[in-house]
Amino acid sequence: MPSENELIRVAVVGAAGRMGREVLRALTPQYGFKILVAVDRSCVGEHCRQLAGPEAPDLAVKDKLGAALDQSEVDVLVDFSHHSGAASHATSAMKRGVSPVIGCTGLSEADMGEIRSLTKELSVPAMYVPNFAIGAVLMMKFSQLAARWMPDAEIIELHHDRKEDAPSGTAILTAQLISESRTSDPVRLPRQVIKAEGARGGKVCDIPVHSVRLPGFLAHQQVIFGAPGEVLTLRHDSSDRQSFMQGVRLAAGTVKSLQGFVVGLDKILFRDA
Ligand code: NAD
């Protein structure tokens, strides 16, 4: 186990949420982390161990991020709250020299632009990771490879019914990567007769994306490549929130060594490739 002064000091926002509680259990000294700050707008004053069990830090949940960061020396902020607050949390962190690892999905281009320019202005690196599951990152990598030879693709993403944003951040990133990796144009479809609006999905980089929201799912995605006489399907399923924690540890442990604003865990997983 790393010694006390080697531990990466972490603040967690959205600590009382489903992902936040998982993070409270995952970023332990055993893995080289020490959580010093837990912030959420709900469960304020409650103890992290009451919320997340005995592996969680011995801390109470606070409600003001800036004040909490001023009271503790922290290296990294892990944000699993809501996309509407992510840019302001990142700004608050970076102004104090703390590197944000943003896990909330649904960040707008404007939010990302703001964070990107602050990373330059303040020389504090930051990450936005739409999907921390290693298998999902591999699915995106394999999709890039497939797109070089099979440019016709559609994406189906399936999530639990409490997910607000659609398409998912993973689906958007996958579509962007497929679009950048194609070496030939997809086949033009004949004129279509649409009998229910949205039946062909929403388009991201001209790739149809179909979003399913139902109880019973957690986070799943299928990328389907079609070519004359053959179909290739890549599918990833996260059936437990623990699937995201190895990626959260990787990002929180690496962000300080990066430059600028880095989007996607692939930039860490494949940085030597
Ligand atoms: P949740 O609703 O269970 O938890 C969110 C928590 O954040 C709640 O406790 C809420 O009170 C708190 N919160 C919201 N806005 C806040 C603010 N401005 N300040 C302080 N606290 C605030 O949601 P969840 O399922 O834990 O998901 C959280 C986010 O993580 C979502 O955006 C979701 O899409 C994303 N997510 C990302 C990944 C990934 O791999 N990147 C995986 C799963 C979920």
CA dist., res. 65 & res. 44, Å (int) = 12
Nearest-angstrom CA–CA distance, 255 and 172: 22
Q: Which of 105, 140, 237 to mutate to test the pocket of ligand 1 (most atoms within 8 A of CB)?
A: 105
Q: Which ligand 1 atom sits closest to the C-alpha of 20?
A: 26
Please provide residue 136's backbone torsions phi and psi, each rounded to the nearest 5 degrees: -70, -35
CA angle 93, 177, 144 (to 5 degrees): 130
Identify the burial level of 246 via C-beta atoms within 10 angstroms of its C-beta, where 0-12 means exposed, 13-18 middle and 19 or more buried.
Answer: middle
Check pocket membership of 244 for ligand 1, CB cut-off 6 A.
Answer: yes
Q: Residue 135 — φ and ψ, nearest 5°?
A: -60, -35
Spell out the domains of the chain, with CATH numbers in brackets: 4-128+241-269 (3.40.50.720), 134-238 (3.30.360.10)
- E-strand ranges in 68-214 read 76-79, 99-102, 126-128, 153-159, 202-204, 207-213
Rounded Cα distance between 240 and 18, Å, is 11
Say if ligand 1 is within 6 A of residue 130 CB.
yes
Per-residue pLDDT of the chain (273 residues; tens, 9 = 90+): 788 889 999 999 999 999 999 999 999 999 999 999 999 999 999 999 999 999 999 999 999 999 999 999 999 999 999 999 999 999 999 999 999 999 998 899 999 999 999 999 999 999 999 899 999 999 999 999 999 999 999 999 999 999 999 999 899 999 999 999 999 999 877 788 999 999 999 999 999 999 999 999 999 999 999 999 999 999 999 999 999 999 999 999 999 999 999 999 999 999 877
Burial 134-143 (b: 16+ CB within 10 A, else e): bebbebbbeb
85 CA to centre of ligand 1 in angstroms: 10
